[in-house]
Amino acid sequence: NKMNKNKINKNKMNKNKIDVKIETKKGSMDEWPEPIVRVQSLAESNLSSLPDRYIKPASLRPTTTEDAPTATNIPIIDLEGLFSEEGLSDDVIMARISEACRGWGFFQVVNHGVKPELMDAARENWREFFHMPVNAKETYSNSPRTYEGYGSRLGVEKGASLDWSDYYFLHLLPHHLKDFNKWPSFPPTIREVIDEYGEELVKLSGRIMRVLSTNLGLKEDKFQEAFGGENIGACLRVNYYPKCPRPELALGLSPHSDPGGMTILLPDDQVFGLQVRKDDTWITVKPHPHAFIVNIGDQIQILSNSTYKSVEHRVIVNSDKERVSLAFFYNPKSDIPIQPLQELVSTHNPPLYPPMTFDQYRLFIRTQGPQGKSHVESHISPR
C-alpha cells in the first residue's frame, strides 16, 4: 500500500543520508567536532541560566521534572529459584519475562544473584570518580573513534543539541579489548570493583539470554550462539548527571533505544531519572531497592524479528540532586552478521531486517547521537 511504500522510501532515503554522513565523518573520527565542555564544570560554575546548547525544543522537553514517579511502573520480576539444577522450570516467572519483553522491552529483576554490597560498591566508586576535579579526569578524555574513556557527548554533528551528562565508557569483553590502562585508577579500589562487577554481570546476562531464547521456543543457548558464543562483547557506560539549573528545559540523555543486545542498568538508589516510553507517554521508572533494570536492545529486536521490543527511553535531571547510573551492555561479537533467526521466520513471517554486523550498526549512534528509534526503524529489509 501507498503509505507503507512512502514510509519505506523515506527510510531508504534516510539510510542513504546516514551512510553518506558516516563516510564524510570517517576522516574526523579521531576528534570531536568542537571543544568538549564538561557538564560537571558547567554545573559547578553556578550558572543562573542554561547554556543554549542544552535547551531542548519545546516538544522534547520533559513534561514534568518531579521525581515523584508515575503510578505505573515497569514490571518487577523476582528471579528466585528460576535458575536451578533442573533448568528453567518456573513457568510463572518465564511468562512474566516473556510478557515484559514483548510489551515493555523493560523490566526490573530482584533476587538476581548479584550481591547488594557489590552493586553499592560499584556505584559509589564511580560516584567518587566523578566527584574528582574535572582536571584529574581529562587524562582519560575519549574520542569518537572508540568512545573509550571520559566523555561528554554522543555523536559528532557540529552544533548538535547536547545532553546534560558526562560519562565513562569502557570494555569488559572480549578479552583483547579489556585494557586496565583505559580504566580509571582512582579511587584506588575502582578497577578491582569494576572487574568483579563486570564478571557478575556477564554471568547474569548469560542466564537472562537463556530465558529470552527459551521463551521464543528456541533451545536455550540459541541467542548466545547467535551472538557469537564465547566471543561476545560487554561494555560499561557510567553516566553522571550533575545538578541542572533549569531541568525543565534539558534532558540528561535524549530519547534513544540501546543499539546493542541487552542492557542491565544499575540506577541511582536515591534519585529517579530514567523514563521509558509506553505508547505515547513517558513512564518514570521507580527502582526497587537493589534491583537491576533490564532492557532489550536493537540486536535482540532484530534476532527475534521484532517479537521482543527495543524500547525508547530517556533521562530527566534535577536542580538539587545529581544522579549516577551504570549501564552494562551485553552485545554480539562485533564482526558477525546479525539478522532474524531462521527458526523465527517463514514465508508468512519474512525477516524484517537485513544482516548487519554490530560494528557497522553502532556507527549510527556514534555519529548521529541519540535519535529515538529511528535507526532500527530505518534498518528494515526492502520489500
Q: Which of residues 39-58 bind ligand OGA (CB under 6 A)?
A: none
In the complex, the residues that contact Ni ion under the rule CB under 5 A are 258
Do residues 272 and 324 touch, judged by C-beta distance below 8 A?
A: no
Give which of ligand OGA, Ni ion, none residue 303 binds (C-beta under 5 to 8 Å, depending on kind).
Answer: none
Sole window of 22-30, 267-275, 298-306, 343-351 interacting with ligand OGA (rule: CB under 6 A): 267-275
Q: Is 273 one of the binding residues for ligand OGA (CB under 6 A)?
A: yes
Q: Is 325 one of the binding residues for ligand OGA (CB under 6 A)?
A: yes
Q: In the block, which residue shows the cell 519483553?
A: 101
Sole window of 96-104, 199-207, 266-274, 332-340 interacting with ligand OGA (rule: CB under 6 A): 266-274
Distance of CA 99 to the CA centre of its chain: 21
Q: Is 62 one of the binding residues for ligand OGA (CB under 6 A)?
A: no
Helix and strand numbers, DSSP H then E, in the chain: 11, 14
Q: Is 153 one of the binding residues for ligand OGA (CB under 6 A)?
A: no
Buried b (16+ CB within 10 A) or exposed e, 276-296: bbbeeebbbbbbbebbbbbbb
Distance of CA 152 to the CA centre of its chain: 16
Do residues 307 and 102 touch, judged by C-beta distance below 8 A?
A: yes
Separation between Cα atoms, residue 207 and residue 198, nearest integer Å? 14
Cβ distance to ligand OGA smaller for residue 274 or 296: 274
Cβ distance to ligand OGA smaller for residue 222 or 314: 314
Q: Is 274 one of the binding residues for ligand OGA (CB under 6 A)?
A: yes
Do residues 216 and 304 touch, judged by C-beta distance below 8 A?
A: yes
Beta strands in the chain (DSSP E): 76-78, 83-84, 87-88, 106-110, 149-151, 166-173, 233-241, 253-256, 262-266, 274-278, 281-284, 292-296, 313-315, 323-331
Report in angstroms how near the CB of residue 202 gets to ligand OGA at its nearest.
Answer: 18
Separation between Cα atoms, residue 379 and residue 362, nearest integer Å? 12
Of 40, 224, 239, 334, which one interacts with ligand OGA (CB under 6 A)? 239
Cβ distance to ligand OGA smaller for residue 167 or 353: 167
Q: Is 313 one of the binding residues for ligand OGA (CB under 6 A)?
A: yes
Report in angstroms how near the CB of residue 81 gets to ligand OGA at its nearest.
Answer: 29
**Cα-atom radius of gyration of the chain, to the nearest Å?**
20
Report in angstroms how near the CB of residue 332 gets to Ni ion at its nearest.
Answer: 17
Q: Is 366 one of the binding residues for ligand OGA (CB under 6 A)?
A: no
Cell of 220: 536455550
Of 327, 341, 365, 376, which one interacts with ligand OGA (CB under 6 A)? 327
Cβ distance to ligand OGA smaller for residue 173 or 238: 238
Report in angstroms how near the CB of residue 185 gets to Ni ion at its nearest.
Answer: 27
Give which of ligand OGA, Ni ion, none residue 265 binds (C-beta under 5 to 8 Å, depending on kind).
Answer: ligand OGA
- Could you say which DSSP state residue 240 is in? E
Q: Is 258 one of the binding residues for ligand OGA (CB under 6 A)?
A: yes
Do residues 381 and 350 touch, judged by C-beta distance below 8 A?
A: yes
Report in angstroms how near the CB of residue 237 gets to ligand OGA at its nearest.
Answer: 5
Backbone CA torsion sign across 318, 321, 322, 325: negative
Give which of ligand OGA, Ni ion, none residue 273 binds (C-beta under 5 to 8 Å, depending on kind).
Answer: ligand OGA
Footprint on this chain of ligand OGA (rule: CB under 6 A): 237, 239, 253, 258, 265, 267, 273-274, 313, 315, 325, 327
